[in-house]
């Protein structure tokens, strides 16, 4: 059963997605979270990095919309099928997340490209930080790694619960950007989820006004969460228009 180590609410800060907004997150620091407990939290709009579970509490702004794909009814577009085909050319390995030099170097190469192309702040991620964020011990934690031969070219961090997969973070070799690896990653998780008998693939938050998050709206049909239900409230999702 989950144990609560801390609960805190951030002071308002500039939003990472919308320049004219402020943002704040509610954090729960939890350990010993069982897969079924994580699933209940995902269904209520929570996300996870390591032991940190969080969701927005941004006052009147509700632009961050929890989004998931119903795997039984999802139909890929032509461009999504192309990205899936590109991803299928790569060898894929699925299992517990790992931390090694290949992953640290790939993350550094990917993030440096983002710093140049999108103006991201510099972010050096050492072994300790990588393990804390992406390879923290958790019964649901998984990694889908993409290889071109023996070369690691993409890492998809995700969670697996009894009824769902949840995409957490994806980084890739910028040399492979023309193949739409981000979309290919989602399509690979759709395929994996169906193979493993899951009902949903959680994609995190869609922000229609943010270009880097808007792509999630292209996966149809998709479902969005209504409001921010409490732990004892029924989570209600509806098909997005």
Is residue 239 within 8 Å of residue 106, measured between CB atoms? no
- How many domains does the structure of the chain reveal? 1
Angle, in degrees to the nearest 10, between helices 78-88 and 181-195: 80
Q: In 3D, which of 173, 195, 192, 219 has the Cα closest to residue 68?
A: 219
Mind listing the pLDDT tens digit for each residue in 210-229?
Answer: 877 888 999 999 999 999 99
What's the pLDDT at 241?
67
Alpha-carbon distance of 209 to 138, in angstroms, equals: 33
Report pLDDT for 130: 95
Distance CA 205, CA 200 (A): 15
Least confident of 16-20, 25-29, 77-81, 139-143: 16-20
**Alpha-carbon dihedral 166, 186, 197, 103, rounded to 10 degrees:** -70
Of the two residues 24 and 117, the one the predictor is more confident about is 24
Q: In this predicted model, what pLDDT tens digit does every residue of 165-203 receive, in sequence order?
A: 999 999 999 999 999 999 999 999 999 999 999 999 999
Confidence of residue 119 (pLDDT cuts 50, 70, 90): confident
Structure tokens at 49: 């990095």
CA distance 44 to 23: 19
Tokens describing residue 64:
């961050």
Q: At a CB cut-off of 8 Å and minimum separation 6, what does 207 contact? A: 17, 18, 63, 64, 65, 213, 214
Domain housing 143: 3-239
Report the distance separating Cα 168 and Cα 82, nearest Å.
23
| Residue 7 banded pLDDT, cuts 50, 70, 90 | very high
Give me the pLDDT at residue 115, please.
85
Q: How far apart are CA 34 and CA 104, in angstroms?
A: 28
Please give the share of the chain, as a percent, with pLDDT higher than 70: 100
pLDDT, tens digit (0-9, with 9 covering 90-100), for 41-56: 999 999 999 999 999 9
pLDDT at 117 over 90: no
- CB-count burial class (<10 Å; 0-12, 13-18, 19+) for 185: buried
What six digits make up the tokens of 153? 């070219």
Q: Is the pLDDT of residue 116 over 90?
A: no
Q: What is the DSSP letter of 113?
A: H
Q: Token digits for 93? A: 């390995």
**pLDDT above 80 for 137:** yes
Look at the block and give the residue holding tokens 């308002």.
12
60: pLDDT strictly greater than 90: no
- 92 or 241, which is more confident? 92
d(CA 68, CA 74): 10
| CATH code of the domain in which 22 resides | 3.40.630
Predicted model pTM:
0.95
- Mean pLDDT, range 145-163, rounded to an integer: 98
Q: What is the mean pLDDT of the chain?
A: 95
The gap from C-alpha 141 to its chain's centroid, in whole angstroms, comes to 12
């Amino acid at each position: 059963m989950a144990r609560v180590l801390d609960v805190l609410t951030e002071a308002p800060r500039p939003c990472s997605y919308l320049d004219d907004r402020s943002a704040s997150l509610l954090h729960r620091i939890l350990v010993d979270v069982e897969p079924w407990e994580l699933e209940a939290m995902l269904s209520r709009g929570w996300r996870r990095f390591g032991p940190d579970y969080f969701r927005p509490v941004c006052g009147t702004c509700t632009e961050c919309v929890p989004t998931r794909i119903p795997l039984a009814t999802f139909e890929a577009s032509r461009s999504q099928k192309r990205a899936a085909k590109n991803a299928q050319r790569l060898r894929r390995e699925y299992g517990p997340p790992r931390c090694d030099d290949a992953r640290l170097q790939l993350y550094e190469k990917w993030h440096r490209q983002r710093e140049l192309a999108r103006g991201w702040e510099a972010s050096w991620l050492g072994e300790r930080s990588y393990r804390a964020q992406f390879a923290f011990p958790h019964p649901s934690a998984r990694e889908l790694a993409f290889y071109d031969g023996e070369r690691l070219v993409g890492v998809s961090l995700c969670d697996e619960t009894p009824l769902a997969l949840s995409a957490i973070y994806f980084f890739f070799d910028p040399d492979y950007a023309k193949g739409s690896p981000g979309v290919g990653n989602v399509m690979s998780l759709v395929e994996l989820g169906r193979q493993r008998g899951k009902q949903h693939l959680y994609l995190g938050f869609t922000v229609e006004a943010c270009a880097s998050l808007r792509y999630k709206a292209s996966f149809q049909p998709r479902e969005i969460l209504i409001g921010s239900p409490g732990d004892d409230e029924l989570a209600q999702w509806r098909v997005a228009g």
